Amino acid sequence: MNDPLPRTILLVDTERYSDRDDVQQAFLRRMLYDVVDRTLLAAGIDQTLRLRADRGDAIMEMIDPSAPLTTLLRALLTEVPAQLRAVNRLAASSAQIRLRAVLATGYVAVDEFDGWVGTDLNHACRLLDGEPLKQALRERTDDYALCVSEPVYAGIVRHNHTGIPADEFTAVTMPSKNGPLGAWLYGPLPTGGPAPEPEGDSGAGTAAAPTAPAGAVGQINGGQFGGVNHGIDGGVFHGDIRLGGGDGR
């Protein structure tokens, strides 16, 4: 395995994906790609600076650290909501897309199988699966919920850079199987309330193969992915990452 390198990690997941039929899911995937691509291009991050792993109802982006984190965070705060408004105002109610996202940093290694390996990546996956972020999106009307990891808050957000209002981020704790993880939620805190019944397996991805090489491990919404998954720019993801499905949140 190669040495771990610093990376910016962006995870974006579609709410209630498995509630839709196949035609609607295909439309939502196109919209997800379009929103993420336009946002990253607005931040000056082209395909030469990123690797993507496709998770059916979610996207993982591993971004070169030379891309300014402040510029990316500004785009996530402004461009994603603008893109969602533009898409949803023209879409039928059955095709409305709502997203939750996590921005994190850390060290990720690419192994000999081109798999992504790193505890920081695992933690980012668990932040995306955290109930506070899911609940925040359930309660909001603007179709979007974002949280950042503690290193992103400490290194960027708390310094009140232009266009990044620190006072609009609030500390939250995300439960995980490895213990509580700290994060910072943008926008109002959720008030709580019951979560909807789980939707079951979305079937949006490929089931993990028993012989899949080991890779980064995380879980998002209960779906399973393993084996080899190809992304743009030649990116390939191996292993036991679990994304998509679950309660569709």
pLDDT of the chain, 249 residues: tens digit per residue: 678 889 999 999 988 776 666 887 788 889 899 999 999 999 999 999 999 887 778 899 999 999 999 999 999 999 999 999 998 888 877 778 899 999 999 999 878 777 788 899 999 999 999 999 999 999 998 899 999 999 999 999 999 999 999 999 999 999 888 789 999 999 999 987 545 444 433 333 323 333 333 333 343 333 433 333 434 344 444 444 444 444 444
Domain annotation covers residue 214: yes
Domain annotation covers residue 141: yes
Domain annotation covers residue 133: yes
Return all residues near 248 (Cβ < 8 A) that are at least 6 apart: 15, 16, 17, 18, 19, 57, 199, 202, 221
pTM for the whole structure: 0.75
Domain annotation covers residue 160: yes
> How many domains are there within the chain?
1
Residues spanned by the domain of 62? 5-238
Domain annotation covers residue 248: no
- Identify the CA nearest to 145 among candidates 1, 12, 7, 8: 12
Domain annotation covers residue 247: no
Residue 161 is part of a domain; what is its CATH number? 3.30.70.1230
Domain annotation covers residue 243: no
